[in-house]
Structure 1
Amino acid sequence: MALVRGFLGLAAAFCVLVVLVLVVHPHRADGFSRGFFAASKGVVIPPLAGICATSVIVHDYKCQEHEVTTQDGYILSLQRIPEGRVVRNGAGNKRQPVLIQHGVLVDGMTWFLNPPEQNLPMILADNGFDVWIANTRGTRFSRRHTSLDPSIPDFWDWSWDELVSFDIPAIFDFVYGQTGQKIDYVGHSLGTLIALASFSEGKLVNQMKSAALLSPIAYLSHMNTALGVVAAKAFVGEITTIFGLAEFDPKGEPVGNFLKSLCAHPGVDCYDLLSALTGKNCCLNSSTIDLFLMNEPQSTSTKNMVHLAQTVRDGILAKYNYGRPDYNVMHYGEATPPIYNLSNIPHDLPLFVSYGGQDALSDVGDVMLLLDSFKFHDVDKLSVQFIKDYAHADFIMGVNAKAIVYNQVVAFFKRQYS
């Protein structure tokens, strides 16, 4: 871990804090008091029942639990909602498969926090799609490996590079094998980053029909918030206590102590920390917060958080930097990590991009850089939606997301096979 501590800078600290606070989702003045710290000590953790049993079947939808093993041995949980509550005549096995991928520090459950008529998987199922929900390695339902145990550091020796190289391809292979059809894809936040990186390397595209990217993350250099400087300075003194761990557990004591110390800093208002760091979410229902805290946040690897931080610091989309030229040569055959070149994404791949004007994590300036990568994309294959009042969490938990975003996603997918 010495290498990790060696090159992690102030921008890295900022990135980590932003993502940490993102998963708290306070909505009102009392939100943070019931938020992160309550998740650590005040909330009773429910039994480890699967997503199908707890959040799908109870609403009268069919649901299947599947397991997918990656080439590097991680056993991933995957849920399938094969049809809506009302089955349309003649659909048979021709229902279009769609894979939904969550962001960092959450799992597939994050899509089910609102009622069925407001959450994306069930909306897609009710519109005739065969819905699959991914759960990234390290989250509660994907904490198994063919030979490694999550209690040892080797289990956590991965970054989002491995999600690009192993997780997403394994899931696509499985869904394609089960359905025999090309796949529509929905990603939010980190779920967009790993998809874009995969597309740029030619992965998935032969099994892909189209992709919807919600609150896309590719470039992170424009994140600039009122608490950024204070957060970075506060984090510097905590590097050894937090980043001495291979598993990055938001509910663990080191991370909790860090946030407590930040909240004690003069001038920091923890009641509005979410808005200050990620933008003001316009449309969250405060009643979902307690449900969120029963289920999220989830662990990831420290190496993954550092890789995200490198994206902030360096302003480019590249593979993990091992901090020394000779170590990079060992891994990549060159002194600097290879870049994911988004201009290599096939110009005829149908893409839907939706971003928010209040999103301080997927900042408008960074989205403009991403869209510039698509300047040679086929005009009729790129759809872009800008939502002035939306911030990062509105895309997955907004009470009006169906009317504003999800109906557009459904229409976009249906255009691809009409």
Structure 2
Amino acid sequence: MGPTLLHYSNVSSQNLPPPENPNFEQEQLILNPFKTTLNQGLTCGQLIVSRGFKYERHFVTTEDGYILELYRIINPYAQAARGRNLKPILVLHGGFTSCSSFMINGPGGHIKEWINGNPPHDTSKSLAFALANREFDVWLGNDRGTRYSNHTRLDPYKDHEFWNFTFIEMGKYDVPAMVDYIIEETGFEKIVYIGYSQSTIAMLTLLAKQPQFACKLDLNINVSPEAFIGDQKGISSIIQPSLLLTEIGSEYSGPVIPFIQEFVAILSILCTNDAVKPICFEINNYVFGPDREMISPDQIKELVSQVDQMSLKSVLHYMQSSKYDQIREFDYGPKKNLEVYGSEEPHKFPFEIVPIHNLVIISGLNDYLAPQVSVQKLRDILPDRPFIDHVVTWPLWSHVDILLADEAFEYMHSVIIDIVRVHGEDVQVSSEI
């Protein structure tokens, strides 16, 4: 299936285009009478055009049959100035979110004109728009299980087999499919990868099994890296997998939230209410790490309106990993593990062979899901120092600050842009294009 190019001008909250993804129609029908900001509940396409950009929708099929939706942000000003010589960047989201999470930190991020062939000085708080207003070809990916995914033969609403996956399959199948597709579509030999949270697990587990894959990346940027997750703080630290849940996860394949559209709409409405808003804010703080100076209670309703689906098996795998600390294969129990892996315990992923020549690690000091003690374990197991190891200087920088912080550009996006500009210059366009 080829790309679809879409663009709408003069977009406002009153004349947004309809959702290009039918899964969001019901959510918006419930949410729209109560929403107080433009970004609440919008699809990735609606968010892109709300800032004046064009976009293409690309559909990528993985080796095991999952159909993943890629959004390519089109900036006519950048294309006019640089032609096809725009560095391709794949940006991949965390758990329970989708590509929309990188576009909800508003209200800025609108497309700006280039002056004398130079990109504008845009300080957008949303990573996708901060990149798209510059000399980058921005591709926003969506993993299997999100509402932006499907399958060649399985129906996510009818077939439980569709949900028989974890973040390991995302690394094994989804990441390679998206990277290879972008390389083929753009004609570049390599691209820049920016993975956040869950997508760092996907990339690191992929490279632990196939280190040669790093040759397809100019830079492998991992924000809030999660290879060791036994030292998490906050709410996550007290949630441990029970034997019952493990047994359920080994037998049942299904989504975590069966009625995702209705659930997300109602949750966002509740977090919009002045009485409930502080509760939503504090839950966010104790899950991800509190940064009350950078994130306001009003931003939480936008984040929860973009909550997306995950498989129960993936959540249970994450819980298992907190017990083992270092990410391992899924634990089915001793008997089935022996059949699947040849040992009673699931195998560890050998992060000691992950290539470091293009590895970039960006971490925060107040990240409850990727605390510094866990990041240090990753540093210690790597064969050498990462190419770049950046710790955000803001002492309260939490797990979701990249998505919601008022000064996200200063502390995160500008750092990423500088790294790509300085160290991604060896990217060359294929002569066949």
* TM class by smaller structure: 0.7 to 0.9
Deviation at 1:363, TM superposition (A): 1.3
Deviations 1:173-208 (A, max 9, x none): 101111122111111111111111112222531211
- Deviation, structure 1 residue 410: 0.6
Residue among 189, 208, 214 paired with 2:217: 208
Cα RMSD for the two superposed structures = 3.3
Judging changes above 3 Å, is the alpha-carbon distance between structure 1 residues 404 and 157 closer, same or farther for their aligned structure 2 residues?
Answer: same
**CA separation of 1:40 and 1:217: change in aligned 2, threshold 3 A:** farther
The alpha carbon displacement at 1:305 in A equals 0.7
Deviation track 1:113-162 (CA, whole Å, cap 9, x = no partner) reads 123122111111212000000111111111x2111111221110111111
Measure, in 1, the Cα distance between the counterparts of 2:388 and 2:199: 18
Alpha-carbon distance, 1:89 to partner: 5.4
Corresponding residue for 1:384? 390
TM-score (normalizing by structure 2): 0.74
How has the CA–CA distance of structure 1 residues 331 and 309 changed in structure 2, closer, same or farther, with 3 Å as cutoff?
Answer: same
Q: Is the 8 A contact 2:232 2:368 kept in 1?
A: yes
**CA distance in 2 between partners of 1:169 and 1:227 (Å):** 30
Mapping for residues 288-367 of structure 1, pairs under 5 Å: 288-294=299-305, 296-325=306-335, 327-348=336-357, 350-367=358-375
| Ranges in structure 1 where 5+ consecutive residues have no aligned partner | 1-38, 260-268
Residue 329 of structure 1, CA deviation? 3.4
Q: 1:403-414 maps to which residues of 2 (within 5 A)?
A: 403-414=410-421
**CA gap 1:408/1:203 in 2 versus in 1, 3 angstroms:** same
The answer for the alignment partner of 2:51 in structure 1 is: 59
Q: Percent same amino acid among aligned pairs?
A: 24
Deviation at 1:236, TM superposition (A): 6.0
The whole-number CA distance in structure 2 between the counterparts of 1:119 and 1:271 is 20
In 2, Cα distance between equivalents of 1:273 and 1:48: 20
Which residue, out of 96, 103, 109, partners 2:100? 109
Q: 1:368 to 1:107 in 2, by over 3 A?
A: same
Residues 288/198 of structure 1: CA separation in 2 closer, same or farther (3 Å cut) = same
Deviation per CA, 1:361-380: give whole Å up to 9, x if none: 111110111121236136xx
After superposition, residues 3-402 of structure 1 pair within 5 angstroms as 43=31, 50-52=43-45, 54-83=46-75, 86-87=77-78, 90-115=81-106, 116=109, 117-142=124-149, 144-150=150-156, 151-181=158-188, 182-201=190-209, 202=211, 204-225=213-234, 228-229=237-238, 239=245, 246-249=254-257, 272-282=282-292, 283-294=294-305, 296-325=306-335, 327-348=336-357, 350-374=358-382, 376-377=384-385, 381-387=387-393, 388-402=395-409
Scaled by the length of structure 1, the TM-score of the pair is 0.77
Higher relative contact order (CA 8 A, sep 6+): 1
Q: 1:324 to 1:375 in 2, by over 3 A?
A: closer
Alpha-carbon deviations, 1:56-94, whole Å to 9, x = none?
1222112111100111111111000143x6326551212
Asked whether the 8 Å contact 2:97–2:308 carries over to 1, the reply is yes
Q: Partners of 2:298 and 2:207 in 1: how far apart?
A: 37
SS of residue in 1 equivalent to 2:143: coil
Unmatched segments (≥5 aa) in structure 2:
1-26, 110-123, 268-278, 426-433
- Map of 2:9 onto structure 1: none
